[in-house]
Structure 1
């Protein structure tokens, strides 16, 4: 009978203990912790390119300021966007046209007397020949002979000009377009009039002289437009600080690009340097720095495998001494 009472007491105590546990849930046993899952990558072959992206400006490039000469008042100016053409009037002074010649020697005197010689004479002969006013050369190319004078007179007659003087002609490097006006109607002719750029679209990329030293003329680049598309480009020129007249630590890279409807925009230019074809790669996050120096990768079982690293690009790193297809642990 006593054994039965003890058994009943134990049952009651057990029941009381269960009730106490339910009354204080904070004392329940902790839930099991889930094991963290591993992020795994595979050793694969890929092409790596050492590239960098730099901001640039799409437009028509740096402009050249056109300055008039002689006395008189500006009576007509070209509109922005006007195409500059050889032998055609570009603006007017005292209601007389000022025509364009292409070359590198400014017109510094009136070319109206036979026997004059010089680079300006040779330049005039070349321009008139290309304009369809070919002259029979009596002597040298740089001599203002009777044949060239006849061609000049015929050209001036067609332009309704009396004489070819520095005030009636402006010499530019080549074809271009008027980008912006500096002068206004009524200003003196001898002053800055407007800015002329090239006719082709270019991208200008300012960069440090150190970065520019690694760029070569003729290098192919990729230009990312604001719309998200890309167009190919080629490095056309690299202006040093001396040439640009700017900070010695700075330079400007000009890139020719294919046709695009945008006249001006902020763009991103991708310069590609060294290219490694079909090398073994892993994500950079898979590298483990070793205490003794160098790197290793970790396999699924936790073991480390030392590796030799090569090029880093686009979040990947070139590795050696690993089999293709090996799974390695990496950061998420």
Structure 2
């Protein structure tokens, strides 16, 4: 039988495990940066950008977390009515776990937290999260399509295809019932339950779905524009390369391959996206781009920590 002291230590560790994990990962990343670049070089680049642009970028990135909370509030209006503060805390804990834990394992915290705080069944919260992630991925791919459409030789056809892709979620929602019936006929029994849960995770009507789709688009528009601006301030050029870098980093964060804290994968996504859309490929240029990608990644981490700190006064979640 555990002693009271041992039980107390376990209880303390259970309450603070996320904080401890965050400290360990951030400390390891800080040591890696010092070893590879040196913090003096990183700070010098921030100093060149200036304090005010950094604060504005942080404020804008943090504002997207409130928009994400509003999207979830609109998804579950009855269960979350009058509890925006609690929901904001839940979304921030989920967001931080998603950033810090590898291979998207942090996603599992969302249905658990929604059940603990609002009594929403695990299957419904999970299916709603899946739909929101599909909308997130669509928004990022649509943003990436802007660059390809702008560079396409047949501009009219390219923009028509882009518009069709942009409206794909709305079209899919309008024809969801026939699509669901078709899927239930052709897929095996296990997949049928999955399809049914996706349908359960959709908003109740077209108006609610339109709001979720619009909020998703605005959220990613703000985030991508801020990252493009930050990368361009840190010397990433041309502007299309900054755009590609912002998209590459964010795509790396929504795909299954994701390192703890995005360490390595997020900067690599920025670098790959920037090079794909016109960044110089020389050794010195790539070194400068890598440093800028690390700074952009740090901006994302600091904004997540800022959002979490803001959410702390909104009450502790109950024990699961």
Could you tell me the TM-score, scaled by structure 1's length? 0.23
* Greater gyration radius: 1
More helix by share: 2
